[in-house]
Structure 1
Amino acid sequence: MKIAFGSDHVGYELKPTLIKYVQELGYETYDFGTYSKQRTDYPIYGKKVGEVVARGDYDLGIIICGTGVGISLAANKVPGIRAASVSEPYSAALSRRHNNSNILALGSRVIGSEMAKLIVKSWLESQFEGGRHQRRIDELTAEDEHNETKFDRIVKDNSGQYDD
């Protein structure tokens, strides 16, 4: 499995630690930047990682900025991306199991490197459960496609079927 990494200047110091850790877990990695502490804009790297994951060049992505929020917003602008900004392992796992997240966003000003490793491990070890969660992913896909007809059909076809 191939994991794409990206960060702005604030996430730059945490990124090499996580790249090394993910490699130790047996994954192939690639760093899409930034490559220094020089001030830069997080949308550049959220977009880069989002695009390579959406195209299928990489299986998953991990992106880092100060809070994880800004860079996740940038990645989520790319159709097909479901980036989750989390700060603990439980939400990371559920973002994969229930939301089929394909990018993990972390905040280097929010968590330390050891917590980041726990979050990454939990996220990478989790798998999408499908089932009752699939219709929501289908709705998100219709949103990505700006297809209101498809979205409305999915909602209508599943009305009254909520068991959770």
Structure 2
Amino acid sequence: MTVKRVLRAALSAVFLASLLTSAPLTAQERGPVTNLPIPRFVSLKASEGNVRRGPSLTHRIDWVYKRRDLPLEITAEYGHWRRVRDRDGAGGWMHYSLLSGVRTVLIEGDDVPMRMKPLPDAPVNAVAQRGVVARLDNCIPDWCSIRAGGYWGWTKKSMLWGVAPDEIRD
């Protein structure tokens, strides 16, 4: 092989690798283990969950989540392990047995009204504080129905973390 061919092959490999590693995830992507969409939202099933540097028990624990029902986003799968990301963008690997498909959301705004109907002028049923974890029910384009602390109501989707902006739930 000539130097020119080697150089061209190396540049092609670098270009291809950059495309593969920087390509954005699409809604059509599926996990290789579960065949479920990647990314997707789940919640922490346990009251504590170790977040590891890699997908095995031999990898170092970087931190421990200590909030049951905390919403997390799965960004990758490897065997019994799921790479997760939290609201702050911190991530790591967790064993799948610590995660649940039950959907929860985190309230992102201060004094977020939970309304009786998905309308901006509907009566307020309750007010949720920043950081409250709520159970996610139905979602329409701009609103989601949530439950927290014995209360329920419709909240603007933009005030929640743990639901995709275009997600519809019946």
Larger fraction in strand = 2
The answer to which structure has the higher helix fraction is 1
Global fold match (TM > 0.5): no
**Per chain length, whose mean CA-contact separation is higher, i.e. which structure has more relative contact order (CA < 8 Å, sep 6+)?**
1
**Normalising to structure 1: TM-score of the pair?**
0.28
